[in-house]
């Protein structure tokens, strides 16, 4: 009997359960009514009286050790199972700071340009980035095989019929004119594509805002005043503008608009290359051919159009020296615009 008790005691001491079920099975084996230990208690009656005291003591120790062991194992397993699921959050822990993003500088400037024109009644129109020849060139009075088409090196998607990435957002304005009669006051912001070598001043992708105003009796003076208003809202109230003669197939007469340098205010600096002026946009009176192409009566209506590159304006406003930075998404660059809205 003593040997049997010692053997069971060793088993109890070395027992370790991997699951709660295993611990319970061990309890049934050792302590349940039909288990090993109660069986020994039954046999106890047949132990000879001289050794009863000793055997009884050991038997009780065994029962106690088995009970303790089973409880210990169950507690241990329950605790490790719970960890993670019932652990409470530490309410005293300082909140983790989620860094907030910021707008891209080109979006900031595009939104500003849009707002300036929206204030005087222009509405925003958008169109596809992949265009057919008609909307990008022909309707805009670019003659077939005319060198004017070379002004804008084009990425073609398909040839015959020609499908291309739009080279300017004037294509959107063709769509507006085809679908709407004057008065028309619209601006078209968007991404445009030209097959140009990438450098600090040029990229094959850039962004434009182009504008169009058509009504009865619209004159060159209306255009000049509208663009002066824009220049002052954008670059400050003391800004001067000047118009230099230029050429575009879709406008006649055509001009380039310069604004007085917003950095030096006139005398000359590195930004304006010591000229005092910064080139900002192309503009002109819509060629009557264009109006007729789009179903607008050129005998009754006239209008002006203008178009600017957002990159160039942003470079001037924030003195960004290299246009490629707008496309690299380097956080060290973008973070400098966190306060701009
Ligand atoms: N579409 C011209 C360009 O992309 C800009 C422009 C628009 C010029 C309207 C004159 C009038 O360069």
Listing DSSP states for 56-92 in one string gives HHHHHHHHHHHHHHHHHHHHHHHHHHHTTTSPPP-TT
Same structural domain for residues 168 and 33?
no
Is 95 part of any domain? no
Q: pLDDT-based confidence at 82, cuts 50/70/90? A: low
CA 28 / ligand 1 centre spacing (Å)? 90
pLDDT digits (tens, 9 = 90+) for 261-297: 988 877 888 878 889 999 999 999 999 999 999 999 9
Question: Would you state the structure tokens that stand for residue 290, as one six-digit string?
Answer: 């264009």
**For the chain, what is the domain count?**
2
Atom 9 of ligand 1, nearest CA residue: 306
CA distance 306 to 121: 16
Q: In what order do the strands lie in the sheet with 163-165?
A: 130-132, 163-165, 156-158
Burial of residue 158 (CB within 10 Å: 0-12, 13-18, 19+) is: exposed
Atom of ligand 1 nearest to the CA of 304: 11
CA distance 99 to 199: 33
Atom 2 of ligand 1, nearest CA residue: 307
- Collapsing DSSP states into helix, strand and coil, what is residue 24? helix
Same structural domain for residues 41 and 159?
no
Is 96 part of any domain? no
Same structural domain for residues 33 and 127?
no
Same structural domain for residues 222 and 179?
yes
Same structural domain for residues 138 and 186?
yes
Same structural domain for residues 70 and 205?
no
Same structural domain for residues 154 and 274?
yes
Is 261 part of any domain? yes
Task: Tell me if 305 CB under 6 Å of ligand 1.
Answer: yes
Q: What confidence score (pLDDT) does residue 19 get?
A: 86
Same structural domain for residues 207 and 127?
yes
Question: Would you state the structure tokens that stand for residue 329, as one six-digit string?
Answer: 């998404």
The answer on pLDDT for 126 being more than 70 is yes
Is 99 part of any domain? no
Task: Tell me if 251 CB under 6 Å of ligand 1.
Answer: yes
Same structural domain for residues 75 and 196?
no
What does each C-alpha distance from 228 to 106, 117, 188 come to in angstroms?
A: 22, 12, 19
Q: What confidence score (pLDDT) does residue 196 get?
A: 87
Count CA atoms within 13 Å of residue 286 on its CB side. 33
CA distance 319 to 54: 98
Same structural domain for residues 22 and 149?
no
Q: What is the CATH number of the domain that holds 141?
A: 3.30.930.10
Q: What confidence score (pLDDT) does residue 253 get?
A: 97
More confident residue, 179 or 79: 179
Is 196 part of any domain? yes
Question: Would you state the structure tokens that stand for residue 195, as one six-digit string?
Answer: 């097959």
Same structural domain for residues 144 and 277?
yes
Q: What confidence score (pLDDT) does residue 150 get?
A: 64
pLDDT digits (tens, 9 = 90+) for 145-157: 776 566 668 898 9
The answer on pLDDT for 118 being more than 60 is yes
Is 276 part of any domain? yes
Mutate to test the pocket of ligand 1, among 131, 150, 209, 282 (most ligand atoms within 8 A of CB): 282
CA 286 / ligand 1 centre spacing (Å)? 11
Atom 10 of ligand 1, nearest CA residue: 283
Q: Which domain holds residue 146?
A: 105-337
Q: pLDDT-based confidence at 244, cuts 50/70/90? A: very high
Is 89 part of any domain? no
Is 80 part of any domain? yes
Atom of ligand 1 nearest to the CA of 170: 1
The answer on pLDDT for 246 being more than 60 is yes
Average pLDDT over residues 90-104: 86
The answer on pLDDT for 86 being more than 60 is no
The answer on pLDDT for 85 being more than 70 is no
What percentage of the chain exceeds 70 in pLDDT? 96
The model's pTM: 0.72
C-beta separation of 283 from 254 below 8 A: yes
Same structural domain for residues 124 and 55?
no
pLDDT digits (tens, 9 = 90+) for 165-176: 999 999 999 999
CA distance 210 to 250: 13
């Amino acid at each position: 009997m003593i040997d049997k008790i010692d053997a069971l005691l060793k088993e109890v001491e070395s027992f370790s359960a991997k699951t709660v079920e295993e611990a319970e099975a061990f309890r049934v084996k050792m302590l349940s009514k039909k288990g090993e230990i109660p069986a020994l208690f039954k046999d106890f009656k047949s132990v000879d009286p001289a050794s009863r005291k000793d055997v009884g003591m050991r038997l009780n120790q065994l029962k106690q050790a088995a009970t303790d062991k089973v409880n210990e194992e169950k507690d241990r397993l329950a605790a490790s199972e719970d960890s993670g699921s019932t652990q409470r959050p530490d309410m005293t822990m300082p909140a983790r700071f989620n860094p907030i993003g910021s707008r891209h500088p080109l979006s900031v400037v595009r939104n500003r340009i849009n707002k300036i024109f929206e204030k005087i009644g222009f509405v925003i129109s958008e169109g596809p980035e992949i265009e057919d020849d008609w909307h990008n060139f022909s309707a805009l009075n670019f003659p077939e095989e005319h060198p004017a088409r070379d002004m804008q090196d084009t990425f073609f998607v398909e040839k015959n019929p020609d499908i291309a990435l739009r080279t300017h957002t004037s294509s959107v304005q063709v769509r507006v004119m085809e679908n709407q009669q004057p008065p028309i006051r619209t601006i078209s912001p968007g991404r445009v594509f030209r097959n140009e070598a990438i450098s600090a001043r040029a990229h094959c992708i850039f962004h434009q805002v182009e504008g169009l105003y058509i009504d009865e009796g619209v004159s060159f003076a209306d255009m000049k005043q509208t663009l002066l208003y824009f220049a002052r809202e954008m670059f400050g109230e003391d800004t001067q503008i000047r118009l230099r003669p230029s050429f575009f197939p879709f406008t006649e007469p055509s001009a380039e608009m310069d604004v007085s340098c917003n950095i030096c205010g006139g005398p000359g600096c590195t930004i304006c290359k010591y000229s005092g002026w910064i080139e900002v946009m192309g503009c002109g009176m819509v060629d009557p051919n264009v109006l007729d192409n789009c179903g607008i009566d050129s005998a009754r209506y006239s209008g002006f159009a203008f178009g600017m590159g957002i990159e160039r304006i942003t470079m001037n406003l924030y003195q960004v020296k290299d246009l490629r930075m707008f496309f690299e998404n380097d956080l060290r660059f973008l973070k400098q615009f966190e306060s701009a809205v």
